[in-house]
Chain A
Amino acid sequence: MLVPIFTLNLKHKVNAHMVTIGKYDGIHSSLTCATAAGKVLIHNPHVKSQIGRSEGDISLLSINQQVSSVCAGKLNPDIQNDVLAVGTLTNLMVYDIEKNADLFYKDTPDGSNAVVIGKLGNISPTMAIIGGNCSIQGFDLEGEENFWTVTGDNVCSLALLDFTNNGQNELVVGSEDYDIRVFREDEIIAEMTETESITCLCPMESTKFGYALANGTVGVYDKSSRYWRIKSKNQAVTIHSFDLDSDGVSELITGWSNGKIDARSDRTGEVIFKDNFNCAVAGVIQGDYRQDGGQQLICVSVDGEVRGYNPASEELRGNLMDTNMEQETIRELSQRKQNLMMELRNYEENMKAGVAASSILNARSQESGGGPVSADRPFPPGVEYDQSEMGVIPASTQLQTTLSVNPGDDNKPAHVELIVATTNDTIVRAVLIFAEGIFDGESHVVHPNVNTLSNCVRVPIVPPKDLPVDLHIKAFIGYKNCGQYHVFELTRQLPRYSMYVLGGSEIQEAKGTCSFQVNERVQRIVMWINQNFLLQEDVQCDSDGNVNFAFMSLRGSGPFHFKMDVSGTVTLKTDDMDLAGDIVQTLASFLNIDDLQTTIDYPEEMEKLRETLVKVDEYHAVRQKLTAEMADHSNLIRSLVVRAEDARLMGDMGNMKKGYTELYNMNRDLINGYKIRCGNHQELLASLKQVNQVIQKAGKMRVGKYKTQVVNACRAAIKSNNVNALFKIIKSGGS
């Protein structure tokens, strides 16, 4: 059994996710975590340090702002010392702990939800890379911005690893729109869609990486294919890769919200070790904490409890949990045997029941209407076999499912309708659908009222995003009032664009346009449409070989026209930039197009962008004004305090009272000012997010190098405040 090699208590709260470790003097490892009240705690048992007020081995850095991420790393490759990067809601600070000095301090209005330090692709300086609202920035040692790009939504997690195995790091980004994107510098080279926000990412062996989602899933990817995943009812707070069983391959270590730590094999997800804390885990890291040259796995709980584990010794031979392999194997085999016996018994009993009632059943089949059993001709009651105890249905019962688009009416919003029906008079008692990402939880249940039971159940489904989804359907089939039902299980796939209904010429074309050229036969495009849209029957191109399909979005984003002529020009007409971008991306991957340039025209979106940019300027102005006011006020406060205290010392109570009353009023003004500042800041953040999103959407309309080009050109235009250039770039792709 593997036991902790050391335990200690920091006696401070530790914020979840915000744990790191660094060698600030180049030699000794120091555990570093964000704690309550905007402070960062540094545990240095090995060095006596002078920073902050020292309390035992712990020193505290006051950040005085809410910390959102911490990361320690070597930003200057020339010296051995690690530096500490601390991200807050509005800025990034990089400290040299050893010298107790700021390296740089950057305003990052997009916030920094995640920070990593390392090298990315060909960019020569090592950078501190931060992920914020839709944007990713990289700063070098001097605080120079060397990298900037946008992503679909707020960034939750970042990891640097060699995804392509080319000897250079790529950046893996997890965001709130359920996507994992891989950036080779600023080009997206892979995109994987998950089922929830990606809360953690960690590099593993070579091209593998671990991930964790907000819904309790953890798993491992190798490049863009998923190896395994598991789901728990608890949430994974942190993941880390560490070779705990000394077999030369790292395991995925997960720290859970219920205090559990487990180590899972990177290949199978099998648990090889687990341990429990009394409260949620805050972070899992590794470092040489015993000064013996080895690495320990260090787990920190939110209550400040720290446990360190040495990798298992040779003698344990990978058996870390004190399990008796022999007993385990025997138990597992016996369990399997037991299950098979049960199944066998089911078949035997089924046969027996059939034989026992065979004469009646055979007679029935001669009768009109046929069928061995039905609602009004129940299974003949016998001594041994009673229908109330046993679910009996005709063996020929089949389950049929149909998917269709229902445009909705006044009472019902538009939805995709799944019809689950049996082929005889058996009833569908309930339908369970397990699918990810389209329901609030992982399942959706339809359980009709007892009085309205029939052999058919209609399930409305409203997929919130355009994604292909597997629906795992379980239907409970039987007769009214029976205590046991047959469970029919089957899987149906919902096509990617299921929330669009095909219409005719009555649908008005939208103003937004996106057009591009492809070298492909029209038939192939038609095939793609048939595969990806939910159509009652397959569509064809017209006699001239042109294509013009009109769809109506059921999510209220208006009409969508898909046109293509024989020359290979594709035109997408929709006001929904996301949809157009999505179509471009999926079509490009279907046709294996590496680079694709498009021209787009979205007059309404552009107008909105112009307004947003004006607003951003206004918010900036307001902010400056408010900051100046605050500075004035703080001077006033100083003088008021001095005056009031003087009065008190002089025994002049009248003036003291007056002074403090004024101070009180001033304080109130300050609080009000602060509230305005907060509001202003929120607005600014929202506007900046919108701008980032437009750039991201514009990028999404292009593929490959053109995509990178657009994003970079947009950033340059924004930096130089050249609004007109920005619009031009968005429209034509900016070459």
Chain B
Amino acid sequence: MMEINLTRVDYAQVGATSPKSLRLLPAAGKTQKVAVGDHKGIMQIFGIRKGDVQSVYKTQPGPKITRLELGGPVDGVRERVFIASGAEVRGFTKKGKNFLTFDTNMSEPIESIYVEGSDLLCCGKFMYNHYKDCKDTNFFLSGDQVSDVICLPSHIVKTLTPILACQDRVLRVLEESELLYEVEVPGPPVTLSLYGGDGGEDGTDVLFGTSDGRVGLVQIERDQPVHTWELPNEKRNGGILCLDNYDITADGVLDLILGRDDGLVEVYSYDDSGEPVHRHTHTCSESITSVQCGIVGNPGYEEIVCSTYAGWVMGLTTESKQKSAGADASILTVEGKDKIIGLRSDLEELQQKVMSEREKYQQTAQSTTAISAVPSFYINDKFVLNREDASYTLSLELQMPIDNVLLQSDVPIDLLDVEKNSAVVSYSACHPEEGNFLLATYRCQANTTRLELKIRSIEGQYGTIQAYITPRVQPKTCKVQQYQIKPLSLHQRTHVFDDNRPHNTLKLTGQFSQAEMHSWVCFCLPELPEKTPPGDSVQFHFMSTFLDTQLECNYSKGIATFRSDNISTISILKDVLTKEATKKKVRLDITYDINDDSIPYTLNLIHPKLEYQLLLAKKVQLIDALKELQVNENSVDFLSPEYRQILVDAEQLKLEYKRQPCHLERLYGMITDLFIDKFKFKGQNMKGRVPALLEVLDNYDLQTLVQFFEITQ
């Protein structure tokens, strides 16, 4: 396959951008124009000539623009620009004439829009509204947050079929105001796109990208979805924010272009069976909020135009800049020189201005009436659970360089090293009695605008992590962001529940409303909408990312039942819910039904993981010794095949071992909890037997362990 070479060219810097708020207008002439909307509320349309921005149109600043879409006649050229800000949608022609200003009157600010002919689909956090010719026609309230909306091309699929990407890992397919069906996807979907821009031959192929970095293609048939392929996120790259289809490799077949929130732009080609194959990765240091392919900078050279969170608009062009600049890239082109001189003089002027303002500001310190009020800045943050290693990733991104971040936690957590983050971390001594279980500073290198941290939590221990973020801008301020570590922090929403497992049940009755119970459950479990879902009774299913045990929550006014095959889960829920109810002075009647079969069942569930980890640890331990033998004996023929295999796989084994630090210890911890909780429900304190249990674990055997759980009285 041909190597793709992409060179970065910066075009402009605008305000901070939301995902999917940059589009390329259809070609008129040799190059295409760029339309981009930012958080300052400015929508601008510009073209590039000889590397310089040629502005076509620019709006006045206003409320922040959350989405920018193109529209046009059905099956026609999409060359009208629609932007959403607040509850308003505005339409512009390609020349910048404002032909539509439409106040939707939605009670939530609009987060995503889609335009199909004269149909306008708008979504707030939970609401979906459909306007036909600006008339409210359909309405739907989603059970969880909506991240994106799209509809199948209406000239192929005759009925208007909107698809909502929802936080609870489903795509909701609608028909008018009704839910047609739900499509379960492997992660929380955040972005949708029609395959090939038109949904393929049948117009039903939809691409989705998830916040945990997966991509998939699903066919939205009339009655049911068909999953075509899914791309896992093995390298644990960032979440997908945007995608585009374009033949950037110029091989006659469309390619898939992805933009991720850790700054990666990836190009995938499709193989003969239609599955994507990785071709190219370009690394930026900021979140990529939009990717769009076309011809912008130079006629004849295709490129990927990207916008980043901090507002850079840049192109990754197939044109080799090395060639145009000659072999010696340190010599400047004429245009570049002009640009640099211009920038320099701008800077000087600005510097003067800043100096005088700074002086003025400092003088106010003498005044008794003056105040120092430094405006707030936006933080683009994400705190998500990774299913693969049951840890949380916290990413923080600013529009300006970060100076340092102070991380404080009132709950015991572990910080894990993230390879791509270059900040120098330092742990400070802290005293739990002051409410500090962790105090760590991250000192960032110059020009770092994005920081990623990895956090490991323990189920049952809950509290708050606070991040104090100081950007490198005078006058210096820091902003606090809080993140909750929930009691059942390692649980993840799912839509399947296996009824055949042996379950322990916890039943609560009392004088509480459904909303109250929902807020308590929200307090215990991640990935739930803050809003109480509609309906008389609510049901949610969860899965433990670490142990694969399950949990069912079922509640309505005055009654709540929880079922889980893991007795520790039930125990944590019982403790926390009682505590929360007591805080609210609500009396709860608690009954529980412990199924003794659930213990061996859970142990059996843990067994393969534990055995695998033990074996892995053993193998890794042997590697160095075997290597030494190999060096000494000059041949490994005398070793048993098992050992020879270890030598062959050595690197992989080590890598895997490194990727899951303390996995074994965590499993041991879970088993110990299981043991203590089992007897807690029987009213016995078994803490004294824990050393004996650990001894059994040291010489692990499933049968002995199960017996230990049963015999101990």
Chain A residues proximal to chain B, CB less than 8 Å: 12-13, 35-37, 39, 53, 55, 60, 216, 231-233, 258, 315, 317-319, 322-327, 329-331, 333-350, 353-354, 357-358, 361-362, 364-365, 370-373, 379, 385, 389-398, 429-430, 432, 434, 439-445, 447-450, 474, 476, 483-489
Mark interface residues in B450-478 (1 if CB within 8 Å of A CB, else 0): 00000000000000000010101111111
Nearest CB to that of A346 among chain B residues?
Answer: B374
A395 to B360, CA, bound (A): 12
Contact A432 B406 (CB under 8 A): yes
| A233, A325, A330, A439: the one within 8 Å of B330 (CB) | A325
Q: Is B694 an interface residue (CB 8 A)?
A: no
Mark interface residues in B465-493 (1 if CB within 8 Å of A CB, else 0): 00010101111111110000000000000
A485 to B339, CA, bound (A): 38
Nearest CB to that of A398 among chain B residues?
Answer: B365
Q: Is B1 an interface residue (CB 8 A)?
A: no
Contact B343 A392 (CB under 8 A): no
Contact A343 B476 (CB under 8 A): no
| B358, B423, B436, B624: the one within 8 Å of A36 (CB) | B624
Mark interface residues in B297-337 (1 if CB within 8 Å of A CB, else 0): 00000000000000000000000011001011110110010
B-chain residues with CB within 8 Å of residue A443 when the two chains form the complex: 426, 428, 441, 443
B-chain residues with CB within 8 Å of residue A336 when the two chains form the complex: 347
Q: How far is the CB of B442 from chain A (nearest CB, A)?
A: 9
B-chain residues with CB within 8 Å of residue A232 when the two chains form the complex: 422, 424
- Ranked nearest first, the 6 interchain pairs of A and B with the lowest CB-CB distance are A441-B426, A395-B370, A487-B476, A326-B336, A353-B373, A395-B364
Contact B9 A361 (CB under 8 A): no
Mark interface residues in B349-365 (1 if CB within 8 Å of A CB, else 0): 01101100110110011
Contact B369 A372 (CB under 8 A): yes
The interface centre, meaning the residue of B368, B372, B399, B417 with most chain A CB atoms within 10 A of its CB, is: B372
Q: How far is the CB of A383 from chain B (nearest CB, A)?
A: 14
What are 9 A-B pairs with beta-carbon distances under 8 A? A55-B634, A317-B330, A324-B7, A333-B340, A340-B347, A372-B370, A391-B374, A396-B365, A449-B434
Nearest CB to that of A216 among chain B residues?
Answer: B424
Contact A395 B477 (CB under 8 A): no
| B346, B404, B429, B475: the one within 8 Å of A346 (CB) | B475
Contact A36 B631 (CB under 8 A): yes
Contact B373 A390 (CB under 8 A): yes
B-chain residues with CB within 8 Å of residue A395 when the two chains form the complex: 364-365, 367, 370-372
Q: Is B401 an interface residue (CB 8 A)?
A: yes
Contact B369 A362 (CB under 8 A): yes
A353 to B371, CA, bound (A): 8
Nearest CB to that of A348 among chain B residues?
Answer: B357
Q: Is B400 an interface residue (CB 8 A)?
A: yes
Contact B365 A258 (CB under 8 A): no
Contact B375 A345 (CB under 8 A): yes
B-chain residues with CB within 8 Å of residue A55 when the two chains form the complex: 634
B-chain residues with CB within 8 Å of residue A354 when the two chains form the complex: 364, 370-371, 373
Contact B424 A442 (CB under 8 A): yes
B-chain residues with CB within 8 Å of residue A345 when the two chains form the complex: 375
Contact B371 A392 (CB under 8 A): yes
B-chain residues with CB within 8 Å of residue A344 when the two chains form the complex: 350, 353-354, 357
A377 to B430, CA, bound (A): 33
Q: Is B419 an interface residue (CB 8 A)?
A: yes
Q: Is B645 an interface residue (CB 8 A)?
A: no
| A325, A333, A350, A486: the one within 8 Å of B343 (CB) | A333
Contact A489 B476 (CB under 8 A): yes
Contact B368 A372 (CB under 8 A): yes
A380 to B348, CA, bound (A): 37
A12 to B632, CA, bound (A): 11
6 additional contacts (CB under 8 A) given A350-B361, A354-B373, A390-B376 = A339-B473, A353-B375, A364-B369, A391-B376, A394-B372, A432-B406
Q: Is B408 an interface residue (CB 8 A)?
A: yes
A-chain residues with CB within 8 Å of residue B424 when the two chains form the complex: 216, 231-233, 442
Q: How far is the CB of B410 from chain A (nearest CB, A)?
A: 9
Contact A483 B10 (CB under 8 A): no
Contact A346 B375 (CB under 8 A): yes
Q: Is B501 an interface residue (CB 8 A)?
A: no
Q: A346-B475, A396-B365, A483-B479 are in contact. Are A439 and B428 (CB under 8 A)?
A: yes
A-chain residues with CB within 8 Å of residue B371 when the two chains form the complex: 350, 353-354, 357, 361, 372-373, 379, 392-395
Q: A258-B419, A333-B347 are in contact. Are A393 and B372 (CB under 8 A)?
A: yes
Q: Is B425 an interface residue (CB 8 A)?
A: yes
A-chain residues with CB within 8 Å of residue B406 when the two chains form the complex: 430, 432, 445, 447
A370 to B368, CA, bound (A): 7
B-chain residues with CB within 8 Å of residue A331 when the two chains form the complex: 10
B-chain residues with CB within 8 Å of residue A432 when the two chains form the complex: 404, 406, 441
Q: Is B8 an interface residue (CB 8 A)?
A: yes
Q: Is B628 an interface residue (CB 8 A)?
A: yes
Nearest CB to that of A370 among chain B residues?
Answer: B368
Contact B419 A486 (CB under 8 A): no
Q: How far is the CB of A356 from chain B (nearest CB, A)?
A: 9
Q: How far is the CB of A260 from chain B (nearest CB, A)?
A: 10
Q: How far is the CB of B573 from chain A (nearest CB, A)?
A: 27
A-chain residues with CB within 8 Å of residue B447 when the two chains form the complex: 335
A346 to B353, CA, bound (A): 13
Q: Is B97 an interface residue (CB 8 A)?
A: no
| A53, A323, A326: the one within 8 Å of B332 (CB) | A326
A379 to B480, CA, bound (A): 19
B-chain residues with CB within 8 Å of residue A487 when the two chains form the complex: 470, 476-478
Question: Which B residues between 379 and 400 are near A, CB-CB below 8 angstroms?
Answer: 399-400
B-chain residues with CB within 8 Å of residue A348 when the two chains form the complex: 357
| A353, A394, A449: the one within 8 Å of B435 (CB) | A449
Q: How far is the CB of B362 from chain A (nearest CB, A)?
A: 9
Contact A485 B477 (CB under 8 A): yes
Contact A371 B373 (CB under 8 A): no
| B325, B344, B426, B475: the one within 8 Å of A326 (CB) | B325
Nearest CB to that of A345 among chain B residues?
Answer: B375
Contact B339 A330 (CB under 8 A): yes
The interface centre, meaning the residue of B365, B374, B441 with most chain A CB atoms within 10 A of its CB, is: B374
| B327, B374, B480, B632: the one within 8 Å of A349 (CB) | B374
Q: How far is the CB of A16 from chain B (nearest CB, A)?
A: 14
Q: A327-B321, A342-B473, A396-B368 are in contact. Are A484 and B374 (CB under 8 A)?
A: yes
Contact A396 B370 (CB under 8 A): yes
B-chain residues with CB within 8 Å of residue A347 when the two chains form the complex: 354, 357-358, 360-361
Contact B340 A326 (CB under 8 A): yes
A578 to B71, CA, bound (A): 80
Q: Is B681 an interface residue (CB 8 A)?
A: no
A-chain residues with CB within 8 Å of residue B435 when the two chains form the complex: 449-450
Nearest CB to that of B439 among chain A residues?
Answer: A445
B-chain residues with CB within 8 Å of residue A364 when the two chains form the complex: 369
Q: How far is the CB of A195 from chain B (nearest CB, A)?
A: 12
Contact A37 B631 (CB under 8 A): yes
Nearest CB to that of B376 among chain A residues?
Answer: A389
A668 to B426, CA, bound (A): 47
A-chain residues with CB within 8 Å of residue B270 when the two chains form the complex: none
Q: Is B427 an interface residue (CB 8 A)?
A: yes
The interface centre, meaning the residue of B399, B406, B627 with most chain A CB atoms within 10 A of its CB, is: B406
Q: How far is the CB of B654 from chain A (nearest CB, A)?
A: 9
A486 to B470, CA, bound (A): 9
Nearest CB to that of A397 among chain B residues?
Answer: B372
Q: Is B118 an interface residue (CB 8 A)?
A: no
Q: How far is the CB of A346 from chain B (nearest CB, A)?
A: 5
Contact B368 A319 (CB under 8 A): no
Q: Is B707 an interface residue (CB 8 A)?
A: no
Q: How far is the CB of A305 from chain B (nearest CB, A)?
A: 12
Q: Is B582 an interface residue (CB 8 A)?
A: no
Contact B350 A442 (CB under 8 A): no
A-chain residues with CB within 8 Å of residue B425 when the two chains form the complex: 233, 441
A-chain residues with CB within 8 Å of residue B159 when the two chains form the complex: none
Contact B401 A339 (CB under 8 A): yes
Contact B336 A338 (CB under 8 A): no
A-chain residues with CB within 8 Å of residue B472 when the two chains form the complex: 339
